[in-house]
A = this chain, B = another copy of it.
Amino acid sequence: ENDDFTLGGLLAKESATTQCQSRGLIHRLRVRSPYTPSPDLITKLRDYEALHQRCGPGTKSFNRSMANLELAFNTEGRHEVDGECRYIVWLAHSGLGNRLVSIAAAFVYALLTRRVLVLDGRSALGELVCEPFPGEVSWLLPHDFTPLLTLTLNQSSPYKFGLHLQQGTLLPSVRDPPEEDRKSLFHSSSASQPSSLFSYIHLAHDYDFFDKLFFCDKEQASLHQIPWLFLGSNLYFVPSLYLYIPEFRQELNRLFPDTDAIFHHISRYLFLPSNSVWSWIMRYYDAYLSKASQIVGVQIRSFVFPPVVHPHLAQQTLRCAEENNLLPKIAEVEGRETPLSPRNATALLVTSLLPDYSEQLKKLYADHPTETGEVVSVHQPSHEGHQNTQAHGHNLKAWAEMCLLSFSNKLITSPMSTFGYVAQGLAGIKPWILTAAENGEAPSSACSQLVSMDPCFHAPPYYNCDGNKGDDTSKILPYVKHCEDVEWGLKVFPHTPA
């Protein structure tokens, strides 16, 4: 029963390991998920898979649509539009955690809008994860996909959706940015007339008022007919999809009755480690974790560059573990005879850019017995020193570590980190989040457990599309509220019907 690699129908039942070894195996190393995918989600995914096979890279439809698009750069006039095959092209931004949560959000958007999700092939993601969709059609764009090589697709793109909204060239009425949004408007030097064939959507941390109108009903509707959307995003923007677009909200509620398991399902569906990463994971797992009776994962993230050691963090982690019974308690006094064949063995799996925290924890558990005589071993797969997203070996380790963390029975993670979000989503457990230090002081409460497992949207709009005014959008729906770890963030919480 626990050997259902499809995870209750989430994954298609094609032969499990032919190409992607982790597909048929990884579920065995994870705690059984308490969440089952809804029948609607399952149907939706099967439909999507079929669509992807018809429209994805390399198919006739794709080639026709791509040729059309290339033509559009050169000649003006009317172009043929394939009604069925519309695309959302995901472009890589930021670290791996950010990439994965934004891919998941883009996929949710693709499901809602019946678009085909394709990824910038230059992101090297193909080396980290398996092709998620059964069949021969990839989700990676060919490396020579011309639009990505020739168009400027970033905050200052002349093709930016937000820019066209700002200039009133897309929709008749231009909305007024609230006072506080005005000074942060991005002023693009150049603009182009909106194309009926493509648009660039900028949904990254640095997006401005007009970019954020993506989440409003009318503006969103204006995208519908455009076959090619290029998406520049490093955010998990799902929460804001609920708010001002009724069809999206209805569909999301149908697909995800467990409202805080969206990313959980989507990440387990989309992100299976590639064969080379899987080998690495399995070697590490077999060597250091496989014999443990439980794995407690700890992720300690420092956002400074280069990262610095916060001397209190190892202690805070221990305090968090002790207060919440996550780890055997360290005994104050030596004494008791050590049993020769110890009972439970806990593997404490620490990930961090720095080696210091795991060394401190390792030393503590070597120097002191636990109150129960239980054994605790401490392991850190890598300590890369600093973020280095351009290096393949670096990303391989980051990804392998997220996967290893997802084998945990319990998780302690750092606030604000998408790296941690990915681990918790894949694991299907609600982590304890270390309380952020205030003014460099160790906080009084060590940690608190998340109420919702879904990732936090770190930069949601503060704008009421209906009321046409600035607003705190955490008050619109009872289950879309501010995050536990990022007070200005927005997040989907467990849906408790009134």
Contact = CB atoms under 8 A, between A and B. Distances in A.
A287 interface: yes
A334 B276 contact: yes
A375 B340 contact: no
B25 A283 contact: no
A290 B334 contact: no
Interface stretch (A136-144, A254-262, A364-372, A481-489): A364-372
A282 B369 CA distance: 10
Nearest to A374: B286
Contacts of A365: 283, 287
A470 interface: no
Interface string A276-315: 1011101110111011000000000000000000000000
Interface string A354-393: 0000000000011101000001111001000000000000
Interface in A54-102: none
A345 interface: yes
B338 A287 contact: no
Interface in A402-422: none
Interface string A2-25: 000000000000000100010001
A332 interface: no
B334 A287 contact: no
A342 interface: yes
Contacts of A288: 377
Nearest to A367: B280
A286 B25 contact: no
Contacts of A378: 287
B342 A290 contact: yes
A337 interface: yes
Contacts of A381: 366
A377 B287 contact: yes
Contacts of A282: 338, 340
Nearest to A348: B287
Given A283-B369, A366-B381, A338 B290 contact: no
A400 to B, nearest CB: 9
A28 interface: yes
A14 B414 CA distance: 54
A282 to B, nearest CB: 4
Contacts of A287: 345, 365-366, 375-378
Given A291-B291, A381-B366, A28 B283 contact: no
A287 B370 CA distance: 12
Contacts of A28: 340
A345 B377 contact: no
Contacts of A375: 283, 286-287
B290 A25 contact: no
A16 to B, nearest CB: 12
A334 B366 contact: no
Nearest to A29: B340
A338 B17 CA distance: 12
B284 A366 contact: yes
Contacts of A290: 342
Contacts of A291: 291
Contacts of A366: 280, 283-284, 287, 381
Contacts of A369: 279, 283
Contacts of A376: 287
Contact of A338 (B279, B334, B367): B279
Nearest to A25: B340
21 contacts: A17-B337, A21-B337, A25-B340, A28-B340, A276-B334, A279-B334, A279-B338, A280-B366, A283-B338, A283-B369, A284-B366, A286-B342, A286-B345, A286-B375, A287-B345, A287-B365, A287-B375, A287-B378, A290-B342, A291-B291, A366-B381
Query: 10 tightest A-B contacts by CB?
Result: A287-B377, A282-B338, A291-B291, A286-B375, A286-B342, A287-B375, A279-B338, A288-B377, A284-B366, A283-B366
Given A283-B338, A286-B342, 7 more contacts: A276-B334, A283-B365, A284-B366, A286-B375, A287-B345, A287-B365, A287-B378
